[in-house]
Amino acid sequence: SDLAFLPEMPLETGAAVTHELPDSSRFVIGSYNIRYAVGQRLISSGIFRKVNLNFPRHRNDAVEKNIRLAADAFTQGAICPPLDVLALQEADKATARSGGRHVARELAERLGMSWVHAPAGIPRGQLPKTREWWLDFEEQIGLNDPGDTGVALLSRSPLHDLARIDLPWTECPWRPRLAVAATVQFGQQPVRILNAHIDPHSAGDGQIEQLEVVLAEAEKFSGATVLLGDFNTLSQQKCLDTRQLIESRGFTTPFPTGTPTWRGAGIRLHADWIFVRNARIGRWGVARPLSASDHWPVWAEVEVR
């Protein structure tokens, strides 16, 4: 199978001093493809690398600055309400491209949150296959880089019942895709949260196949559920197909199809989503400006029924 050569990739966790939220029926959740906290210029930085100019030059300092910018954005209330839960994608751990920093852990520490990180399990020493030209701007993790990337959940309340969800992937075997799930207790209300990073290489049917696996995991929980993440719906049709599938399973979202959450070279696309089931969303939005990534965070105030 596609996953046969992957080693067992255990979840990594860290605990902060957590507590029940003052209003146990309501919390604010966000999702952010942080792009290893290296900044917003995906396309121009990719062009520079092709002529051997690798920016930013001082990765450690640049990534630390962007982690600090993100932490300020998620606590100060200027571009979104202070977050109680945060889902991260492209959260690198000790890669050269992230300056050796552990992005999820360091951001969680700044936010005073507990965290779980699910590493992708990048295969070592295997050349990535040829990709679409428009995906070739991403900076790859080195063939023998000891670091990794992955998805993470950060929370002001303790995280329970953690689960790694490996997704089917064939079109880019060098880059595994996955999701992570956890239950967060808000007073007497347990809420299941699933954070997914769907493959941008796949055609629509490949993305639907990955989402079906995440939805199957969501079906194991009958209470309030939040499904969010970077679904890489980089066309109108993918937006429509993704939304139709998830809403057919009882989820809802207030985000209009086509809401810009990613930008590059003057283009704006809708990649990031928040859906809920057995809960409702009051306020919601896209947190901008924020320059730590080529994505903007999405956020929602969730009320448990």
| Chain segment 90-114, per-residue pLDDT in tens | 999 999 999 999 999 999 999 999 9
- Across the range 56-72, mean pLDDT stands at 91
Q: Which one-letter amino acid corresponds to residue 277?
A: R
CA distance 302 to 23: 11
Residue 110's pLDDT is 97
Residue 184's pLDDT is 95
More confident residue, 179 or 47: 179
| Chain segment 193-206, per-residue pLDDT in tens | 999 999 987 777 89
Q: Which one-letter amino acid corresponds to residue 243?
A: R
Residue 42's pLDDT is 47
CA distance 291 to 299: 16
pLDDT at residue 167 tops 50: yes
- Across the range 152-167, mean pLDDT stands at 96
Side-chain-side CA neighbours of 273 within 13 Å: the count stands at 30
Residues 6+ apart with CB under 8 A from 262: 33, 234, 268, 269, 270, 271, 272, 294, 295, 296
Tell me the C-alpha to C-alpha distance, in Å, between residue 47 and each of 100, 129, 186, 227, 234: 23, 19, 46, 34, 21
CA distance 36 to 41: 12
pLDDT at residue 61 tops 80: yes
- The encoded tokens of residue 264 equal 């590059």
Tell me the C-alpha to C-alpha distance, in Å, between residue 253 and each of 49, 228, 250, 276, 279: 38, 10, 10, 7, 10
- Cis (ω within 30 of 0) for the bond into 56? yes
Please, what is the average pLDDT of the chain?
88
The least confident of 36-45, 60-69, 282-291 is 36-45
| Chain segment 260-291, per-residue pLDDT in tens | 999 987 899 999 999 999 999 999 999 999 99
pLDDT at residue 211 tops 50: yes
pLDDT at residue 302 tops 90: yes
Place of tokens 């992955």: 150
Residue 41's pLDDT is 61
Q: What is the DSSP letter of 201?
A: S
Residue 21's pLDDT is 63
pLDDT at residue 7 tops 60: no
Phi-psi region of 228 (alpha: psi -120 to 50; beta: other; left: phi over 0): beta
Residues 6+ apart with CB under 8 A from 163: 180, 181, 182, 217
Share of the chain above pLDDT 90, in %: 69
Tell me the C-alpha to C-alpha distance, in Å, between residue 161 and each of 107, 119, 130, 145, 298: 22, 17, 38, 31, 25
CA distance 259 to 243: 13
Q: Which one-letter amino acid corresponds to residue 21?
A: L
More confident residue, 84 or 170: 84
Residue 1's pLDDT is 34
Q: Which one-letter amino acid corresponds to residue 133?
A: W
